[in-house]
Structure 1
Amino acid sequence: MKIGILVDSSATADPTIFTKTLVECLPLHLTYGAEVDILDTPENMEKHQVYESIKQGAVWKTSQASPGEVAQRYEKMLKKYDHVIHIPITDNLSSMLGTALIVSRENRFVDKVTVIKNNTLAAQAISLMALHLSTLIKEGVLETPEMVVDEFYKMATVFYIGIIPGDLKRLASGGRATKIASSILNVFKTKVLIRWQEKPEKEGMGRTVGSLTDKAVRGMKELFPNQKFHVILTTVPIYNEKNRKAAAAVLKEEKIKYSKEPIPHLYPVHAGLETVGFIAYPLNFKIHPEMEK
């Protein structure tokens, strides 16, 4: 059975990482006012200068893919694959999961599309999981949709996902993370580290990104006791160099292996350009060989 995997643009800022894999990426939408509605792609981000616009005070928002867009992508993928596994953006950030479930229940997609109820993974953790599944499918380890789903739920707990929002007021103004941000807005000039999981929790508060990176490292070490792990440090390039360097300095001091990646566009749009994210996973987690270079 040929099995393909679908994620959305909340999983990566660079969908070319899925080249030569079984993974495809469905772009979400970015909107500005009542007239501007663009697909969340690197080309559109550059064309519309979205980050520069946000820096100047513009309020962009995000929107899920429409049911029609989801159905169209399912139909396109089913021309290549016998079955599609869809891993949408986590349910505590968007209603995309609910929309995908409704579309997948249409008669034409029954027994051909499986939507995973992702309540925990965000940002690059989704792309890493998709690449992991793709590799195991290609190797013949996962032969059925049921096996792919079981592997997802088995491995979904191996990630540490943390985020330091750059702009709590922006985060509190919309989206499904509103309650978390609103609960700490009354703390003057304080940054917060949020541990992303099914029920996101405040893991620490501090004045600097460095101090919160220390707290994130402690959380990672608790999750991976006596186990080596890798960290993806994810930020907005150019606009957030100060915070990236502060977080990187702590990771270097702790002698933790890490790599730098652009943060998926959805997160700085919701949480500000100075947002910092950490995705940690054990070194024995199997991903696509191209990602391991």
Structure 2
Amino acid sequence: MEKIAIVTDSNSGITQEEGRRLGVSVLPMPFYINDVMYLEGITLTQEEFYEKLKNDEAISTSQPSPAEVCGLWDNLLKEYDEVVHIPMSSGLSASCETAMALARDYDGRVQVVDNQRISVTQRQSVLDALVLREAGRTAAEIKEKLEEEKMESSIYITLETLKYLKKGGRITPAAAAIGTVLNLKPVLQIQGEKLDAYAKVRGKKQAKKVMLKAIREDWEDRFGKYVEAGEMCLQMAYTGNKEEAEEFKEEVQAVFPGADIHMDPLSLSVACHIGHGALAVACSKKVTIK
């Protein structure tokens, strides 16, 4: 049986420590803050990031350099026969496209998965890859299966502030100003690929209601057959507001009694575009071996 290494990036929410425990290599995503480069989870903690965000420091996202990506693969291929690389969604970053281009020089030994996921749903893909590897699948078969099921996930996010959407040019300054005065909270969604608008409501309490209704409808209708087969996972994420997220988790648990809910801080690559205080609820299909 081929020895297969699993690689992801820190957008999956998998920390360096958890990566070591799982036997997964985690590429840290780089950030530039006031022109100084930081690496998520290595030279930049979640707390430090939100402190810098609060102080309005100039923050921009980047992607791991080709040398870093290839260096990691080269080291792994000394010990393993193949590599499965699971980056964040190609709709949210160019890092997936870059990795795919680099992989062409590896004669099929590196398989890059474009499975349109981020944060907790990307993490589930990594766990799925481990299950498939354990079942004896090749790297190409793991890639095929993850891409086949890539759209079987759903994320809804609400924000505390419109400031960062305005900063990133996703809404106009006028819309942000009106939204702030009226206490409008957008609910955004990721149904594969990009971050899109889902709804706009008054206040966070209402936003949470909208998200709960949306995720329950997905759970019961869109993913009903997977739920019945025990193949769906519930997840949550937040940006720096753990206490509030824990309270919301209780609300989610009440809607899904008995369900196991995994919760992580949201990837900093997303957090820098939406700011502190966001809440997200998600679900994704998990791979089962029959």
2:282 match: 279
With the length of structure 2 as denominator, give the TM-score of the two structures: 0.82
Out of 85-94 and 257-266, give the one that drifted further.
257-266
Which amino acid in structure 1 is aligned with residue 39 of structure 2?
Answer: L
Alignment deviations for residues 89-137 of structure 1 (CA, whole Å, 9 cap, x no partner): 112221111211221123xx1221121223x211121111111111221
- CA contact 1:61–1:270 (8 Å) conserved in 2: no
- CA contact 2:87–2:95 (8 Å) conserved in 1: yes
Which amino acid in structure 2 is aligned with residue 260 of structure 1?
Answer: M
| Offset, 1:255 | 3.7
Alignment deviations for residues 21-75 of structure 1 (CA, whole Å, 9 cap, x no partner): 35211111011122x101111x422499222122222232211011111111111
Greater share of residues in helix: 2
Q: Please give the alpha-carbon distance, in whole angstroms, between the structure 1 residues aligned to 2:215 and 2:239.
A: 22
Q: 1:78 to 1:167 in 2, by over 3 A?
A: farther
Q: Which runs of 5+ in 2 are unaligned?
A: none
- CA contact 2:113–2:147 (8 Å) conserved in 1: no
| Offset, 1:280 | 1.5
Alignment match of 2:185 (pick from 181, 191, 194): 191
Q: Map of 1:135-284 to 2, 5 A cutoff?
A: 135-140=131-136, 142=137, 144-174=138-168, 178-179=169-170, 181-182=171-172, 185=176, 187-188=179-180, 189-196=183-190, 197-225=192-220, 226=224, 227=227, 229-237=232-240, 239=241, 241-242=243-244, 244-245=245-246, 247-256=248-257, 257=259, 258-281=261-284
- CA contact 2:7–2:83 (8 Å) conserved in 1: yes
Identity %, equivalent residues: 21
Q: 1:14 to 1:210 in 2, by over 3 A?
A: farther
- CA contact 2:114–2:147 (8 Å) conserved in 1: no
Q: 1:54 to 1:76 in 2, by over 3 A?
A: same
Q: 1:135 to 1:22 in 2, by over 3 A?
A: farther
Which amino acid in structure 1 is aligned with residue 219 of structure 2?
Answer: F
Q: 1:166 to 1:96 in 2, by over 3 A?
A: farther
2:59 match: 60
Q: 1:95 to 1:47 in 2, by over 3 A?
A: closer
Out of 199-208 and 128-137, give the one that drifted further.
199-208
Q: Please give the alpha-carbon distance, in whole angstroms, between the structure 2 residues aligned to 1:192 and 1:246.
A: 20
What is the root-mean-square deviation in Å for CA atoms of aligned residues? 2.7
- CA contact 1:234–1:262 (8 Å) conserved in 2: yes
- CA contact 1:164–1:192 (8 Å) conserved in 2: yes
Aligned length: 273
1:39 match: 39
Alignment match of 1:122 (pick from 118, 141, 153): 118
- CA contact 1:203–1:215 (8 Å) conserved in 2: no
Q: Map of 1:5-20 to 2, 5 A cutoff?
A: 5-12=6-13, 14-20=15-21
| Offset, 1:10 | 0.8
